[in-house]
Structure 1
Amino acid sequence: MKKKFKMFGAAAVVTSLAFVAGCSGGGDDASGSGDGGGNESVSVVLKTLSSPYWKYVEAGAKAAGEELGVDVTVVGPSAESQVIEQVNMLEDQVSQSPGAIVVSPSQPDTVVPVLEQAAQTDLPILLIDSDADFEGKTTFIGTENFTAGQEGGKLLASMLEKGDKVALIAGALGNPATDDRIKGAKEALEAAGMVIVAEQPGDSDKTKAMSVMENILENNGDVKGVFAANDDMALGVLRAVEAKGLDTKVIGTDGTQEAVESIISGGLAGTIAQSPYNMGYQGVENALKAIKGETVEERIDSGIDIISAENAQEQLDFLKSISE
């Protein structure tokens, strides 16, 4: 497979090289065994495989496995809120003695004991998307979620007037990635003079976020903007505001294909696109380096891009290229 390079121009907050190999996500709640056919094996444990964002991570991991000749197993629970299910999956993968583990912890504090125990056996452990502090960690690969939230807040504020009411829709309680996004957005919105009238968890679920937004609108029908900590929730929020016939600006996070298509059709106002494909690819790529005893940087930034109507088509073309 040959890599392509994806770069956005002035819209890029962090210009990143996107390693894109023609490979589709595939898989169910727990999927991907033996992809790559190599002598080395890497287990990838994600927060879930039930959303487009994590499918992109899975696609990147599997593409790296095929290109680098690594057996890659990708698993994830039925939902990001299923923390114990993820812990059980992680324990199971560790027990199978892979060459390295790549993991995105839903609740870092909950999985740290498992990771610490695994690290004592000199098993390389690489974290992607969400970080955790423990002895023996090889690296963290991902976006600075606080920065992503800040950029989302700035983008939303640029579409509103000082003093406008806004709402924040967070992920599952205790999810550090979505928590940090909300903190960043909140800081940017308040600095721009917006009035935050609601902050509620949507559990990274489209239907739950729609219901939460419907309740918010009961008491705050004049909300002018909403920042959601992922695109699924943003799309749920959009359904709620459209049902009320409101012209409320909704910004999401992740840059999924459905969200980008919504931007193009005049639905969502924008999204902060992270690089989930990069995270998966670089996770496996650096896991192989660790297995071979090569030097791996302690922190690797996978980059973010601001997506709005001006560059949504370019982002959509990129996303489609992943599954060609």
Structure 2
Amino acid sequence: MNNPFFDQARDGCQKAAKEIGGIECLYIGPADATEQEQVELVQDLITKHVDGIGVSAANAPAMAKILARAKEANIPVVTWDSDLLPADKALRATYIGTVNEQVGVEVAKRAMALKPNGGTFCIQSGGPAAANMNDRIKGMLETLPSDKWKQVDGCPLYNNDDFPLSLSQLTDLLAKYPKIDAVLDAGGAPQMVTQAYRGLMSKYSDRLKNNDLVMLFVETLPMQMDLLREGLSHGQVGQRPFEMGYQAVYVLNDLTAGKSVEDPITIGLDICTTETAETCRKQ
């Protein structure tokens, strides 16, 4: 809940509920990115027999075990942002969001454009059991030519969506590998502690300016776009969380009315560079 990405999804959810009328968007989640607490909150919703559940699964296998109970209780479920594993997809009606492998592909393509000769890199990610993050990593690794790009020892790094930890990991990484060519983030955690990230990156301003060190992230939240404009990032691959939350409510409303829905419901991406920062985001 301390992530501005989810704040935008909340706003979309509430707007849709207001438009439909007669329904309520309950926006709940763990205060921090705690997988077990998220599972417990969903279990509580099932016990209360809410009319529908939309969830971004932090731990896909653990969430599937709980959503099996929702299916038994005939509570419609949609996933958004982060889906269940393929074997468990029958537990939800649809997935609403981006094709996460494509997110990783776009990050890798930006790295390749800036570093055509390749180099050394590290991937930073959130939770190791988050299906969306793992799909993004897969997209990166399958796109980067293995004869040109080599991941340094100890990577990927997993921060479990702990923002201060992610920055600490990044600090240690850049100190350990002072000549590393690129950091590819499957999320945007270090940028969420914006002033601290800004302070860290200021130490590498020359390398950043010359594309000697390339920093790439996912999401295009306002503070991230500021960092991009300042030259403290070389690219942001943005999802559209407002649209995810908005669509989730309409889809759940259709499901409770007995209507069928498409699966998946794909939402596009915003690919932002320093040059396109003012025009790249969907309004």
Shorter-chain TM-score bucket reads 0.7 to 0.9
User: Match for 1:233: what amino acid?
Assistant: P
Aligned counterparts of 2:191 and 2:123: Cα–Cα separation in 1? 10
For residue 59 of structure 2, the aligned residue among 107, 119, 134 is 107
Q: Which moved more, 1:193-202 or 1:291-300?
A: 193-202
1:272 counterpart residue number: 237
Identity %: 23
Q: How far apart are residue 317 of structure 1 and its match?
A: 8.4
Structure-1 separation of matches of 2:190 and 2:130: 14
Q: Which residue number in structure 2 is paired with residue 231 of structure 1?
A: 188
Distance 2:257 2:96 in 1: 18
For 1:9, the equivalent position in structure 2 comes to none
Residues 101/282 of structure 1: CA separation in 2 closer, same or farther (3 Å cut): same
* Structure 2 residue 26 is matched with structure 1 residue 73: yes
SS in 2 for 1:72: coil
1 or 2, which has the higher strand percentage?
A: 1
The answer as to whether partners of 1:209 and 1:234 remain within 8 angstroms in 2 is no
Question: In structure 2, what is the equivalent of residue 14 of structure 1?
Answer: none
Q: Is the 8 A contact 2:17 2:24 kept in 1?
A: yes
What amino acid is the match of 1:242? S
RMSD: 2.0
- Secondary structure of 2:26's partner? strand
Counterpart position of 2:45: 93
TM-score (norm 2): 0.88
Deviation string for 1:279-320 (max 9, x for gaps)? Answer: 1111001000001111211211011121112321235683xx
Distance 2:266 2:133 in 1: 17
Segment drifting more, 211-220 vs 247-256: 211-220
Could you tell me which runs of 5 or more consecutive residues in structure 1 were left unpaired when the two chains were aligned. Answer: 1-48, 319-324
Any unmatched runs of 5+ in structure 2? none
Q: Which amino acid aligns with 2:18?
A: E
Q: CA deviation at 1:234?
A: 4.8
Report the Cα distance in structure 2 between the residues aligned to 1:165 and 1:238, rounded to whole angstroms.
23
Distance 2:185 2:69 in 1: 35
Query: Quick check: 1:119 aligned with 2:71?
Result: yes
Matched residue pairs, number? 269
1:177 aligns with 2:132: yes
Aligned position for 1:20: none
**C-alpha distance in structure 1 between counterparts of 2:146 and 2:15, whole Å:** 41
Do residues 309 (structure 1) and 274 (structure 2) align?
A: yes
Q: Give the 5 Å matches for 1:208-287.
A: 208-234=165-191, 239-245=199-205, 246-247=207-208, 248-287=213-252
User: For 1:156 and 1:250, how far apart are their aligned partners in 2?
Assistant: 9
1:151 corresponding residue in structure 2: 106
Q: Is the 8 A contact 1:157 1:194 kept in 2?
A: no
Partner amino acid, structure 1, of 2:175: E
Normalized per residue, the structure richer in helix is 2
1:206 to partner: Cα distance:
3.2
Cα deviation for residue 190 of structure 1 reads 3.1
Instruction: Give me the whole-angstrom Cα distance separating, in 1, the residues matched to 2:239 and 2:89.
Output: 25
Displacement, 1:107? 0.5
Residue of structure 2 aligned with 1:64, choices 1, 16, 22: 16
